[in-house]
Amino acid sequence: MFVREAQQRRLAGQRLGNGTLDLLGTLTALQNDLAGRVLHADLDLHGYVPPTVSEVRGRPRRTQHTLAR
């Protein structure tokens, strides 16, 4: 019983903290800096963007290796 109550209090505290950070815009900025939907997150964090395959008018198109600026 006490464990469940402690977990609920902790989650409520996290929500309050996240809400405060989100109001300040820092949480959103942090989430934008994190690698999302990237196969090679380590490379993304270090500035290298691997080649990708994208669909352009039904035909796959390969992009060249680029360096993030």
Percent of the chain surpassing pLDDT 70: 4
Find out whether 60 and 53 touch, Cβ atoms under 8 Å: yes
Please state the domain extents for the chain: 1-34, 38-69
HSE of 49 in the Cβ direction (CA atoms, 13 Å)? 12
Does 68 score more than 50 pLDDT? no
The residue behind tokens 């600026």 is: 69
27-53 average pLDDT score: 60
pTM here? 0.22
Rounded-to-integer distance, Cα 3 and Cα 8, Å: 9
pLDDT by residue (tens digit) across 1-17? 555 676 777 766 676 66
**Average pLDDT over the chain, rounded to whole?**
60
